[in-house]
Chain A
Amino acid sequence: MPDQVKNDVMSSSFEVSLDRLQEIVTQLEKGDISLDMGLQLYKEGMLCARSCKEQLQKARHEISVWQNGEETPFEQQIANICGVVAES
């Protein structure tokens, strides 16, 4: 697989990767593509799956607070409030 595709996949958002994975599976299901193409899609699909899993593992909600006309991070307060960050 060209490095460009690889980079693209690994830098795509979770949702884009998941959609692409779904699309690849659908395309392979149709079965009217060459082995070469199938193999390429397979590699890309596995990469998408890996990217999705990694992103999902790392995914954290970012919490900020909007006060007095500006946005400030809320991490510390959240940690204090319910230990979400510490837990996950």
Chain B
Amino acid sequence: MFRQDVAILSVSALTEQLRYKIEQTFPFVWVRGEIANYKVTSAGHIYFSLKDRDAQLQCVWFRGQQSALRKGASFDPLTGEVYENSAPALELSEGLEVLCAGQISIYAVRGQYQMIVELVQASGEGAQALAFEKLKQRLAAAGYFALERKRQLPRNPVKIALLTSPTGAAIHDFLKLAAPRGYGSQIRLYPVMVQGNEAVKSIVSAFALANAQAWADVIVLIRGGGATEDLRVFNDESVATAVFTSTLPVVAGIGHEIDTCLTDMTADVRAATPSHAAELLWQHKNVLFQKIDELEMSLQYMIEQKFRRVVQTVEANVRALQWHSPLQRVQRGDEQCIMLQQRLFASIGRLIAERTYRLQLAGQKLPDLMRGHLERYTHVLEKYETALHAYDPNTPLQRGYAFVQTKDGATLRSIGQTHAGENLQIVLHDGSLEVSVENVFAKKG
């Protein structure tokens, strides 16, 4: 049935929409499969199918993307990061199992979905890398790389179990760097194979032997640099486990500085190279010589200081002793006597002078003082005399006053003391009158 409201798409439009959707959904995927229908065009593009038992996927690998094929490249299966190495270029051929990475898209002309390949990796290699990652994660989870289980190396170890090949570059480098270091250790070499099929077994049994003997202070496992493939032994679980379970501490120096393997990561101490392992184990003799020299100088300094202090103490005591000697005391007594005498004379002279002066001063003051006293007393006498005059009964008589006495000489002060007819005497300044009282009148009012 025809429907007006539904948009009708052209084949191209539909295909375009599908292409957009599918490219958004699978911008970069890894696919594993077996190569079939392998064809290289004259332009250099490669066409093939990836197939497994039940399905197949069309793939195109354009020439521009094939640099990896030609130069040889590797990739990190976790991050997808591609880096070049020296591995031989991959030869693609019918039936080869590979890992392809790229975008899924639609080839509109044929209405067919396909993968636009960017990278091709031999499946085994990728599987190996993935297996390595899985193993690494498993060992990490089991605590192989845990920092808290790492043991400290003994300082200047004297017994070393050296696990390496007796003919490799590693032992050469190690011993060369060891020679000027430490102060004479015993190095027992346990020859092991460091590559090849027997290597894992030989390393694991050497670990077992060294641990069983328990002779060494530390186990040193070293191997010189090599291709990634050569160092594979040191990514083996059994080797890592031998390191992990070793009762003796382990130093591992595998390959070059950039090489890190599971054995390195498991070891108590990771040396970057075999030479570095020797540097980690022992101090350079020059450092030790310097240390001894420094201690020797300290010793010299200390004893000199000690002598200096003792000499100072002796000198101080000698001075103290001299101070207390009898001769010194007599001398000091003499000096003191003379000094006291001088002081005595000086003070007596001073005393006499002072007293004389004071006497003179007093002598000068005495007449003045006496005169003062006399004047004061004269003045007082005069005052008393004047006062006395004031009280003389004759003085008022001079001014015309008189007083009256009875015959027996008593002074009359009131009219009550007399009566009419009595004879009285009136005293004046120049004589007296004898009178008789005629009448007595009391004061009125």
> Which A residues contact B (CB, under 8 angstroms)?
14-15, 18, 21-22, 24-25, 28-29, 31, 35, 38-39, 42, 45-46, 49, 52-53, 55-56, 58-67, 71, 74, 77-78, 81-82, 84, 87-88
Contact B303 A38 (CB under 8 A): yes
Contact A42 B303 (CB under 8 A): yes
CB distance from A38 to the nearest CB of B (A): 5
A49-B303 contact in complex given A55-B183, A82-B176, C-beta closer than 8 Å: no
Contact B189 A64 (CB under 8 A): yes
Interface magnitude class on chain B: 35 or more
The B296-311 residues at the A interface (CB cut-off 8 A) are: 296, 298-299, 302-303, 305-307, 310
Contact B189 A49 (CB under 8 A): no
| Bound CA span A25–B178, Å | 30
Closest to A78 in B: B175
| Bound CA span A18–B296, Å | 11
Q: Please tell me if B182 contacts chain A, counting CB pairs below 8 Å.
A: yes
Closest to B178 in A: A61
The answer, among A39, A53, A62, A87, for a CB contact under 8 Å with B184, is: A62
Contact B182 A61 (CB under 8 A): yes
CB distance from B157 to the nearest CB of A (A): 11
If over half of A's interface residues share one DSSP class (helix, strand or loop), that class is named, otherwise mixed; here it is helix
| Bound CA span A74–B175, Å | 12
If over half of B's interface residues share one DSSP class (helix, strand or loop), that class is named, otherwise mixed; here it is helix
| Bound CA span A36–B233, Å | 64
Closest to A27 in B: B302
Contact B189 A65 (CB under 8 A): yes
CB distance from A26 to the nearest CB of B (A): 9
Contact residues in A for B298 (Cβ distance below 8 Å)? 25, 28-29
Listed stretches B20-28, B128-136, B287-295, B392-400; interface member: B287-295
Most A CB contacts (10 A, CB to CB) among B180, B189, B285 go to B189
Interface pairs (11), CB distance under 8 Å? A14-B183, A25-B302, A35-B306, A56-B288, A56-B292, A59-B285, A61-B179, A61-B182, A61-B184, A84-B179, A88-B180
